[in-house]
Structure 1
C-alpha cells in the first residue's frame, strides 16, 4: 500500500525547449538535445517561433510543439539568403554590427509576437516546468523563462564561445592572445594588433549588450518588475 501511495507523487521531469526557427543548424541542434532528453523519460514541450519562412523542421519525436504567428517582417534576409548565411559574410566590424542589429531587430519583433500570443504565458506557467533550455542566438527564450518563473535553465551553443558569450559564463574574453570574431589577423599578433583587438572586442561588447537590452522592453511590458541590466 505504501508503495502505491508513493507512486502517485512520482512524475517525470518536464522540460521547456525554446527553439526559434532561424536556421537549420540551430533548430536541429535544439531538436537533438530534446530528442536525447525525451528518450530518457522527461516530458518535452517545445515552442518554435517561426523566425524565417524558409526554415522547415521535422521533429523526430512525438513531443508537444507550440507554434505561434510569424511577425510581419521575416528575419534578416538579403537578396533571398537566409539570416544564418548572412551572419558569416561580414568583412569588417561595422558590417558585423549591421548584421547583428538586423537579426536582433527581427528577433525582438518576433519575441513581442510570441510573448503576447493569446493565452500562451498562462498555459505554460500552469505546466510548472522543472527546467528549460535555449540558445543565446535569440535572447527571447531566456526572458521567456523568467516570465514563466523557471529558475533552472541551460544555455546551449552550436558554436564555440565567442567574444561576447564569454561574459555570459563569467569568463573574460582572452583578447591578449585570441583574435576577436571580426579580426583580420591570427593569434600571432603584434603589439599594435593586440591594441586594435582589445579596442574592437570592447566596442563589439558594448554594441551587442545594447542589442540584448532591446528585448527587455518587450518583457517589461508584460512584467514591469522584469530585471534591468
Structure 2
C-alpha cells in the first residue's frame, strides 16, 4: 500500500496557476497570499501577479515568484480620500444610499487607475497569455483580475472571496431577501418587521454598491480591449468559487457543487511568543486586543471619542489593553494598561 501511495504521489499533476493579488487592504492581501503559498506547498507552479495600489502594504505571498505592477499615480485614492479634511470614519453614516455609492466610486477610482496601468504595461498581457496557465485565481470584488482572465485565457477561472460570496446572482446563488449575510447586515437579527425591511434595503444597497464600483472598471476594459465580456458573464463561467466562510458557523444559504468554502485558511498555526510579547501579555491577568481595521484609523477619531476610550480603558486596571495606534497618535499612550502597536 505504501509503495502504491508513493507511486501515485510521484504521478500527481502539478498545475500552472496565476494568483492575482491587488494590494489595497490587508485582509484581502493576506487571504490571496495564503492561497498562493498553500498551492506552492502542494507542489504547484504558482505565479503571483501583485498589483500595488498601495506599495506600503505587504505582498501577502511569500513563496511564489512575483510579477509586480508598481503603483499608478493616485491608485491609493480609496485609502486616502477620507483623510482629506476633517473626516471621522467613526461618525460616517455608512448605510445611507448616498454615502455607500460615494464609497463605491472612491474604490473604483483606485481600481480603474491601477488596472489601466496593468492593462497598458507593454507586453504584459501577451506574456501572461503565452504562459498558458491552467488556472487563474482572483477575487471578484476588485474585478481587474476577472477581466484579465478573459484576455490571457487560462483553462479555468477560479473565483475566491476573502469574506462571503460576492455577486452571488452571477454564480447562481442569489442573496435571500429573508435571511442572509451581506456586508451591510448580519441576517440573523430579524426581531421586527423593521429589521426585515432593513435587510431587504441592505441587500439592494450592497448590489448597487457593487454595480457602482464595477461599471467604471468595465468601461476601462471596453476602452482598451473592446469586446471584453461583462464581469458578470465571466464570473458566471467560473469553474470553482471559494468563499472564506465556515458552513458550520454561517447562515444556511443556497449553494452549488462548484462552491467550496475555505473558511479559516488564513488562520495560522499558533507559535510560541517571543520574550517581548510574552512580557507584555503577562503584565496583567487578562488581555484585550483592539483594532479598528485598515480604514478606520484611530488618529482620525474626534477628541470626544478618544476621551471616551481613555475613560473606558482607565476603568479596567486589571486588563492589559493592546490597541493598534499610529506612530503619530500619542493621545492614548499615557494609560498604563494600554499597550500600543
TM over 0.5: yes
Aligned with residue 14 of structure 1, among 13, 16, 21: 16
Residue pairs, 1:134-173, within 5 angstroms: 134-161=138-165, 165-173=167-175
Which deviations, in whole Å up to 9, do the C-alpha atoms of 1:134-183 show, x marking residues without a partner? 1123110010111111241211122133xx53224311212223465435
Query: 1:109: Cα distance to partner?
Result: 1.3
For the Cα contact (< 8 Å) 1:17–1:134, is it kept in 2?
yes
C-alpha change, 1:185 and 1:168, in structure 2 (3 Å) is closer
1:65 matched residue in structure 2: 66
| In structure 2, C-alpha distance between the alignment counterparts of 1:180 and 1:36, rounded to whole Å | 28
Q: Give the conservation status (yes or no) of the 8 Å contact 1:49–1:68.
A: yes
> TM-score by structure 2 length?
0.55
* Structure 1 partner of 2:95: 92
Instruction: Give the Å deviation of 1:97.
Output: 2.4
Q: Secondary structure at the match of 2:150?
A: helix
The 8 Å contact of residues 24 and 57 in structure 1, kept in 2 or not, is answered as: no
Alignment of 1:60-139 (within 5 A): 60-61=62-63, 63-73=64-74, 74-76=76-78, 77=80, 78-79=82-83, 91-94=94-97, 95-139=99-143
* Greater strand content: 2
Inter-CA distance 193–116: structure 2 relative to 1 (3 Å threshold): same
Residues 73-94 of structure 1 deviation map (CA, whole Å, 9 limit, x = unaligned): 02312328xxxxx69x753233
Which protein has greater RCO, CA pairs closer than 8 Å, 6+ apart?
1
1:171–1:184 distance in 2 versus 1, CA, 3 Å: closer
What's the offset of the Cα at 1:223? 2.6
Structure 1 stretch 213-222 or stretch 141-150: which is displaced more?
213-222
Pick from 195, 205, 208: which aligns with 2:207? 205
RMSD over equivalenced CA pairs, Å: 2.7
SS of 1:205's partner is: helix
Conserved 8 A contact 1:47-1:66: yes
On the 8 A contact 2:179/2:187 being kept in 1, the answer is no
Distance in 1, matches of 2:183 and 2:173, equals 17
Unaligned stretches of 5+ residues in structure 2: 1-11, 233-341
Show structure 1 runs of 5+ residues with no match: 1-9, 81-85
Residues matched between the structures, number: 211
- SS of 2:66's equivalent? strand
Q: Which residue is equivalent to 2:58?
A: 56
What is the distance in 2 between the residues matched to 1:169 and 1:128? Answer: 25
Cα separation, 2, equivalents of 1:210 and 1:98: 9
Larger radius of gyration: 2
Distance 2:187 2:229 in 1: 38
